[in-house]
Structures are given as structure tokens and as C-alpha cells.
Chain A
Amino acid sequence: MNWKKVTLFAVLFIFALTLTAFAQKKTDVSVFGWLTTYAKPFSEAFKAEVEKKYPNINLVFRESIYEETSTQYLLMAQSGDAPDVSYTELIMSNELANIGALEDLSKWLPKKVIDDMAPAAYEACMFKGELTSVIWDISPYCLFYNAKLLKDTGFSKPPRTFKDFEKFMYGLKGKKDSAGNKIWGTNIAGLDDLHVPFLGSPWLYNFGGEWFDKNGVAAINSPQSVEMLTWFKKLYDDTIFGPVPIDRETDRTLFMEGHAGVIGEGPWQRGIWRDRSGQGEKFDAFWMLDTYPTRDGKPGKSLMWSSNAAIMKAAKHKKEAAQVIEMWLSDPKVVLAYGRLNGGIPAVKSIQNLAEVQNDPYRKVFVSAIQAGGKLPFSPYATLINEFSTVYARAFHDILLNNAPIKKTLDSVAEEMDRIVKSK
């Protein structure tokens, strides 16, 4: 036996094996956030699309609880254990950008993709001259009405004015289902403090109120804000608004099971209900969608929420992360799939202009809410949402449950909000 040849063959074989192994080695690119919680089918489709386009990428979702994500990111920024793709909201991105934890995405994304971003979306993502995140889904809130309850109270379509809305609410007073369960009018889920200002903002804006005035002084004690809370209080005392406080999932269940007349939600909600009801698209017939009511019947303002993506400076695979974000933001196949499953509103012009988006009545309602205007809660100090939320939620519940005097309570909330701004 020629041992030299055998040895050479063995060495070559091992070398070839090693090369193959390296060639096939995939990079685990992590996506942190709450995507799989509410958009599981999309996240699976997204993973397949990304891995098809980039065979070297293995997309791994690291799930988080929405309410804790912001804190998790800040801890990650401090510890250096960062995901590759950070699924954020605009407030979270700005909070992270404020401590210098985010990459400038204009260095990582192709120029044509950045130029394709809707101007408002681009502007919103700029932080101190850097593109610290990109919006991949604009999510204003609108109202989902129970179609049957609308019909039962004499409405063929959702009410457009406050007056009609109130008529619908009082049409539900004392109403029960066949099993004797109470049917509520509407609610603001408030077990988590954050949800109170969050879900209350569209109402505040449409009553003409603001969180802060043009000079950055707290304006939550304005006459419009007092008027809004007086209205809520009246609905609560008349057992139409409520129960208070309640967690958001119970609130959603109440609506889904026909125990609430109307609920405020974002575009993603269609997908959640299709999923949870087990009825798929058939469940769409259960509800009717419209913007928030106003005094004059014009489309109501909303809160301008958004789903963003960012890359933290401590991320390990930035190039691959940028490739994933690029697809998430501008690949028509991915964006349209998200829209079909979750009703998202694209943030790039080229996809916004596609017929599938333009002719979709569901997305049209959200687009009209975007056009009506609205801001993030506590704008321009939206990054302090957590601090403000605990103060406002406590006052809100104190007013509704303990009959705290509205104006006086809001005066002290405004005072506290100004103190928080100054202390920061």
C-alpha cells in the first residue's frame, strides 16, 4: 500500500470537508422584539423569504414581552449583549438613540431604499442628523365596531360624530347577551399604566386637547381635556364605559366575544382576530372599521404609532442585519405579505403606490387617519412616556373610580409632568 498517497488523500479529504463545512455555515441573525407574539404567520413567511434570498442567513426570533421590551433594550445597550435586528417603536428607537446605542442606518442601507421612504417616515426616524431607525409599518389607531351591535342600535355604518357615537353607546346601555352577560360600550384598557394615555390619545386629540402646548408646557389640564374626561366619567357612571381597569387582552376578548361595542386598535388587529377567533378571514364580517369620531364628522385624528427596525452598535452581524431590514422595509413580497396578514401600512412610496395597497378598503381607513393627523402620546416628550404614563393613569382611574375632581386632578398631573420634564 502506498502510504504517502493514502495520507495525501486523507489530508485532501479532510481539507475539502472543512471547506464545505465553512461554505455551508450559516450566520444566525437574531431579531429581538414581539413580532412572533402578534404576527406569527408573517414571521414564519418572513424567515423563509430572507433565507431564500440570503442562504447564508439563519433568521432567529428572540421573543420579548411588549411591555418590557424597552427596558430590555436599555439593559442590552449597557451590557453589550445586543440582537442583530432590533424591532422597536419610534419612542424606543429615540430612547436608544439618545444614549448613542444605535447605528446610523444611512451607512448600512442602500441609498435607493432610503430615498424611497415616505418623507414623513424618514423625518420621524432622523435623530440628531442620523437615521437611527426605519419605519417598516405605520400604525395609526382606528375604531373597530361590532357590526351586529351597530345594526341593533340602528346604525348601518359606524358613527362619525361624537353625538352619534354617544347615541350608539347609550343604545347599548343595559344590553345583555343571551347568557345574561353584560355588553359594554367601549373601554380604555388600563391595567398597564402605559395603555391609558396610549389609547386615550386619539380621544384627547379629537376633543381638541394636547399633552403639551407649543411651548412645551403641559396642557393636559386644558378645557378640552377636562371635557373629554367629563364625557368618559359620564359614560362610566352610566355603566357604559368600563370595566376599569382591565388588561388589554381581556378588553380584546370582550370585543371578540361580542361583549363590547367598540374598541380602538391598530392595523395589526385584523390578523390577531383572524387567528384567535379560529375563523380566519370570515371573522372580518364581525366588525366595521372607521376613524375616531369628531365634532364635525370629518375623519378623526389618531396617535401616530409605528413599527421600526434598528441596529444597535453592539450588534454582531450588522451587514446581515441591514440585509434583513432592507427586505422588511422595501421588498414588495414581504411588505405585501405583512399587509395581507396584518394590515400594515407600508412606509416606502413604491409599495404605497401599488394597486394592492391603494385599492384595499381596510388600509384606506388607516391612511385617512394618517392624513387627519395626530402625534405620538406626550409629543414632543414622547421618550418620557413611561414616566408620564404612571402619573396620568393614576389620575385617570382616580377620576373614574374615586370621583376625584377632574380639573384639580388634571392640574396636579400637569404640574407633575412639567416637573418630570425639568428633572430630565
Chain B
Amino acid sequence: MKRLLVPHQTYSLRSQNIRFALLVISPAFVIAGVALYYPIFNSALMSLQKVYFGSSRFDWVGLANFRAVLRGSVFLKSFTWTLLYGVLSTVLLFVVGMYFALLLNRKMPGTNLIRGLLLMPWSIPVFVNAFLWLWLLNVQYGFVNYILVTLRILPQPVHWTGGSLVAKASVLLAYIWRVFPFNMIVYLAAFQTVDPMYYEVADIEGANKVQQFFLTIVMLRNIITFTALLNFIWAFQEFTTIWIMTRGGPAGATNTLMTQVYTRSFMERNFGEAAAMGAMWVLFLMVFSVFYIRFLLARED
């Protein structure tokens, strides 16, 4: 009953505040509605339709697009590679990022310059990085082959995007090269938050350098998990590097869900099946996001 006895003036003020708040946030809602919710809704509808691109015609086909996608081997293959790409890149980004962060955490001359140089791959546009690696790895004119053959490490040039395994390794390399500075800088910043007292205690207790390293890992576990989750989500959405370097080939070896959805929609013009793939992909990411949010909440606790 007490709640009903709120003075009229206060209620009016609250109501005014709500109206003002709604007014202020409505542009954001409109933009999100047009740019986000409508495309998602439309895409969900499209997954149940056969779309005739270029005209407004469409036919309802129910779950036929989902069945077609799941029946073919391409979806499963690209999904598996996407997962593998996500896991491998996350692990490698941790290793490379941590290595450089530890290296730059020492006090030595020129540290700031080296930090700046190591940040460069993160600052250049994604497509530039992809083209850069495409040309570095070019079978005939590439710098990598030139160096490896000149130093007699390789007997002859390797076509780095011309075989299933080497192509996978090449796109991973290009992706890690671009993203590792992010991990490096996050870890480096996190190192500054660790109280030196812990290391002093560890020293007194007789812990060696390796044990001290693992102590660091334990201290930074939240940051590491956070960056790992981000790395995985980014890798899962990666398109530009793979598309520019291999178009998902050869023979579909580096085809991720992203490249597959693009191919199915804009190359094959099969928007229904592409939307069905997208829907399944969103479902997977939603499950993953739940895990991600739960992790963040647990971290706050």
C-alpha cells in the first residue's frame, strides 16, 4: 500500500523522466531496428524461403533450406574448420602475445620503439594485411620463398596457398600476425597490475622462473580468459583475410562459415540456404554468448 501513497508530484516527475529517457534513447532504438533487428528478422524469414535474387519473388519452402545445408558435406567441413581456426588461433595468439608481452615487460633500451613497431600489424587495415601476406607468400615472386630458397632451407619455392595444409597454415599465420599485438598489449597492461610482492614471496619460497611464470598466469587468469574469448569470437567471424588469400580454397580447405555463407549467397545466389547457414551459425554464437556472459558475471562476483 505504501507504494501507492507516492506523492503525485514525485510520480509525475518520474513519468517525465521516463518519457525523456525514452525520447533520448529512441534514435538508438530506431537505428538498431533498421540496421540490426530488421536484417536479423529478414534473414530468419529468408531461411524459410526460396529467394529469386533481383526480383521481389520468393516461395515458402519451410525447413528445406536447413535440410539441404545439413545434407551437404560443405557445411560440416566449413563448420569444423571454423572451430579449429578459432581454437588454434586462440591458443597461438595466447602464446605469441604472451611471449612478446614478457619480452617487452623487461626494462631495456628502445622498449617503447619496439612496442610501437610491434603494434603496427594491429593498426594496418585488415585487407592490407591480407594482401601483404598473399604477396609475401607468392610462389613465384614472394619474399618468404626467396629467403627460404636463398638460405637453402627449402630446395624450391612452396606454393603456400596451393595445398590444404599449407593454405590453412598461411591464413592462420596472416591472422595471428595481425591480431597478436592486441593480446600483447593487454597482457602487458595486466602485468602492471600484479603486485611485485607476490614475486618477492615466490623468490623467498625458492620458486624458479618457470614457476614464477605460472604464478603470473594464475594472477592474470581473468584477463587471459577474457582475451581468449574475444579471440575466439573474432576468429569465428573472420572473413577478409581468408577471402583475399584463398577464397576458402583450395578445394574448400580454408572455407569457414563466413566464406561459405558469402559464397552461397553472393556467388551461387542461393540466399535461402545462405540464410539457413547464418541462422545455425547465430544459434551457435548465441550459446557461446551465454557462456561468455556467464563468465563475465562470475568474474564480477
> A-side interface residues toward B, CB under 8 Å?
68, 71, 73-75, 77-78, 95-96, 99-101, 180-182, 190-194, 242-246, 250, 253-254, 259, 386-387, 389-390, 393-395, 397-398, 401-402, 404
Query: Which of B170-178, B188-196, B248-256, B286-294 sits within the interface?
Result: B248-256
Which residues of chain B are near A244, meaning CB under 8 Å?
Answer: 159, 162, 250
Q: How far is the CB of A207 from chain B (nearest CB, A)?
A: 22
Contact bitstring B157-172, A, C-beta under 8 A = 1, else 0:
1010111100000000
**Contacts known (A78-B55, A193-B247, A401-B251); A389 close to B159, Cβ less than 8 A:** no
Which of B140, B246, B252 is in CB contact (< 8 Å) with A182?
Answer: B140
**Contacts known (A243-B140, A254-B140, A401-B163); A387 close to B269, Cβ less than 8 A:** yes
Q: Are A397 and B140 in contact (CB under 8 A)?
A: no
Q: Are B56 and A191 in contact (CB under 8 A)?
A: no
Query: Which of B8-16, B83-91, B214-222, B260-268 sits within the interface?
Result: B260-268
Consensus secondary structure, chain B interface: loop
Q: How far is the CB of B39 from chain A (nearest CB, A)?
A: 15
> CA of A73 to CA of B55 in the docked complex: distance in angstroms?
11
Which residues of chain A are near B140, meaning CB under 8 Å?
Answer: 181-182, 243, 250, 254, 259
Q: Are A386 and B164 in contact (CB under 8 A)?
A: no
Q: Are B55 and A99 in contact (CB under 8 A)?
A: yes
Residue of A nearest to B160 (CB): A243
Q: Are B162 and A192 in contact (CB under 8 A)?
A: no
> CA of A148 to CA of B149 in the docked complex: distance in angstroms?
27
Which residues of chain B are near A100, meaning CB under 8 Å?
Answer: 55
Q: Are A397 and B139 in contact (CB under 8 A)?
A: no
Which residues of chain A are near B125, meaning CB under 8 Å?
Answer: none
Q: Are B251 and A394 in contact (CB under 8 A)?
A: yes
Q: Are B55 and A243 in contact (CB under 8 A)?
A: no
Residue of A nearest to B72 (CB): A416
Interface membership of B53, Cβ < 8 A: yes
Q: Are B269 and A243 in contact (CB under 8 A)?
A: no
Interface membership of B54, Cβ < 8 A: yes
Which residues of chain B are near A68, meaning CB under 8 Å?
Answer: 266
Seed contacts A78-B55, A387-B270; 11 additional CB < 8 Å A-B pairs: A71-B269, A99-B55, A194-B267, A242-B162, A243-B159, A245-B161, A245-B249, A253-B141, A386-B268, A401-B162, A402-B251
**Contacts known (A74-B54, A78-B55, A386-B267); A398 close to B138, Cβ less than 8 A:** no
Q: Are A243 and B164 in contact (CB under 8 A)?
A: no
Interface membership of B213, Cβ < 8 A: no
**Contacts known (A243-B140, A243-B159, A244-B162); A191 close to B249, Cβ less than 8 A:** yes
Q: How far is the CB of A368 from chain B (nearest CB, A)?
A: 33
> CA of A388 to CA of B155 in the docked complex: distance in angstroms?
38
Interface membership of B234, Cβ < 8 A: no
Q: Are A245 and B267 in contact (CB under 8 A)?
A: no
Chosen A-B contacts, 23 in total, with CB atoms closer than 8 Å, are: A71-B266, A73-B54, A99-B52, A99-B55, A101-B55, A182-B156, A190-B250, A191-B246, A193-B249, A194-B267, A242-B159, A243-B140, A244-B159, A244-B250, A246-B162, A250-B138, A254-B140, A386-B267, A394-B249, A395-B251, A397-B250, A398-B251, A401-B250
Consensus secondary structure, chain A interface: helix
Residue of A nearest to B149 (CB): A180
> CA of A71 to CA of B270 in the docked complex: distance in angstroms?
12
Contact bitstring B117-150, A, C-beta under 8 A = 1, else 0:
0000000000000000000001111000000010
Which residues of chain A are near B53, meaning CB under 8 Å?
Answer: 74, 78
Which residues of chain B are near A181, meaning CB under 8 Å?
Answer: 140
Q: How far is the CB of A75 from chain B (nearest CB, A)?
A: 8
Which residues of chain A are near B159, meaning CB under 8 Å?
Answer: 242-244
Q: Are B54 and A99 in contact (CB under 8 A)?
A: yes
Which residues of chain A are near B162, meaning CB under 8 Å?
Answer: 242-246, 401
> CA of A424 to CA of B53 in the docked complex: distance in angstroms?
12
Residue of A nearest to B64 (CB): A423
Which residues of chain B are near A77, meaning CB under 8 Å?
Answer: 54-55
Q: Are A192 and B164 in contact (CB under 8 A)?
A: no
Which of B52, B139, B149, B263 is in CB contact (< 8 Å) with A390?
Answer: B263
Residue of A nearest to B265 (CB): A71
Which residues of chain B are near A397, meaning CB under 8 Å?
Answer: 249-251
**Contacts known (A96-B54, A250-B140); A193 close to B251, Cβ less than 8 A:** no
> CA of A100 to CA of B249 in the docked complex: distance in angstroms?
35
Q: Chain A CB within 10 Å — which of B52, B139, B249 has the most? A: B249
Which residues of chain B are near A390, meaning CB under 8 Å?
Answer: 263, 267-268
Residue of B nearest to A194 (CB): B267
Contact bitstring B217-250, A, C-beta under 8 A = 1, else 0:
0000000000000000000000000000011011
Which residues of chain A are near B250, meaning CB under 8 Å?
Answer: 190, 244-245, 397, 401
Q: How far is the CB of A157 from chain B (nearest CB, A)?
A: 27
> CA of A74 to CA of B268 in the docked complex: distance in angstroms?
13
Q: Are B252 and A394 in contact (CB under 8 A)?
A: yes
Contact bitstring B262-283, A, C-beta under 8 A = 1, else 0:
0100111110000000000000
Which of B56, B139, B164 is in CB contact (< 8 Å) with A246?
Answer: B139
Which residues of chain B are near A389, meaning CB under 8 Å?
Answer: 267
The 9 A-B pairs of least Cβ separation, nearest first, read A74-B54, A397-B251, A398-B251, A243-B159, A397-B250, A99-B55, A99-B54, A243-B139, A77-B54
Q: Chain B CB within 10 Å — which of A73, A96, A393 has the most? A: A393
